[in-house]
C-alpha cells in the first residue's frame, strides 16, 4: 500500500460555499484507491451563536413571519458543518460522497466501489480530490484527507 496524498487543513466561516481541490500525481495504474476523510467539529455548540446565524437565515429566506414564537429558531438546531468529497481521475469524474458523517472511508476498485463512486480503471496521471465546503458554521474547522493506493495482490 502506498501513500499518495496526506493533507490537513483548517478553515473558518469565510470558507463556506467554496471548494478546495488537491491535484496529485499517481505514478502508475493502481488496483484500488482508498480515501480516509474526516473533519471536526460537526456541530456548533454555542447556542447564542447558533441563534444569531439561524435568525439571520430565517429573515433572509422569508421564514420570520410576524406572530411566530420567539423560540422558532430552535427548530433548526443544531447547526452542522457540511463538507463533501468528490474525486476526478485524469480521464473522468469518479463520484461524490454527499453525506453528513464527519468521518468517511471511501474506496474505488476496478469492479466495485463504495457508495457514491464509480468502479473502473485507475489510470496513472494527475488525480483531483475536491472538498466542497457547503457549510462551515463553527469558528474554525479542521480536516484531514489521506489517500492510499493498493496494487493487486498478485502483482
Q: How far is the CB of 95 from other proteins (least distance, A)?
A: 5
The rounded distance, in Å, linking the Cα atoms of 98 and 95 is 9
Site map 98..117 versus other proteins, x via CB under 8 A: xxx------------x-xxx
Give the interface size with other proteins as a residue count (CB under 8 A): 36
Q: How far is the CB of 3 from other proteins (least distance, A)?
A: 25
Please answer whether residues 35 and 129 qualify as being in contact, where contact means their C-beta atoms are separated by less than 8 angstroms.
yes
Sheet containing strand 93-97, edge to edge, reads 18-26, 125-135, 82-88, 93-97
Output helix, strand, coil percentages for the chain, rounded to the nearest 5.
15, 45, 40
Q: How far is the CB of 106 from other proteins (least distance, A)?
A: 11
Alpha helices in the chain (DSSP H): 47-60
Binding site for other proteins (CB under 8 A): 16-17, 19, 53-54, 57-58, 60-63, 76, 79-80, 82, 84, 86, 92-93, 95-100, 113, 115-119, 130, 132, 134-135, 137
Amino acid at each position: 500500500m502506498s501513500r499518495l496524498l496526506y493533507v490537513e487543513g483548517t478553515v473558518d466561516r469565510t470558507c463556506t460555499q467554496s471548494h478546495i481541490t488537491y491535484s496529485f500525481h499517481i505514478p502508475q495504474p493502481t488496483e484500488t484507491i482508498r480515501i480516509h476523510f474526516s473533519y471536526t467539529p460537526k456541530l456548533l455548540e454555542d447556542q447564542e451563536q447558533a441563534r444569531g446565524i439561524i435568525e439571520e437565515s430565517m429573515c433572509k429566506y422569508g421564514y420570520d413571519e410576524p406572530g411566530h414564537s420567539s423560540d422558532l429558531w430552535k427548530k433548526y438546531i443544531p447547526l452542522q458543518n457540511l463538507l463533501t468529497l468528490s474525486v476526478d481521475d485524469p480521464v473522468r469524474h469518479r463520484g461524490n460522497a454527499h453525506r453528513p458523517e464527519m468521518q468517511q472511508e471511501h474506496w474505488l476498485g476496478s469492479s466495485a466501489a463504495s457508495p457514491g463512486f464509480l468502479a473502473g480503471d485507475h489510470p496513472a496521471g494527475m488525480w483531483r480530490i475536491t472538498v466542497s465546503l457547503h457549510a462551515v458554521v463553527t469558528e474554525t474547522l479542521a480536516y484531514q484527507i489521506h489517500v492510499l493506493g493498493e496494487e493487486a495482490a498478485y502483482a
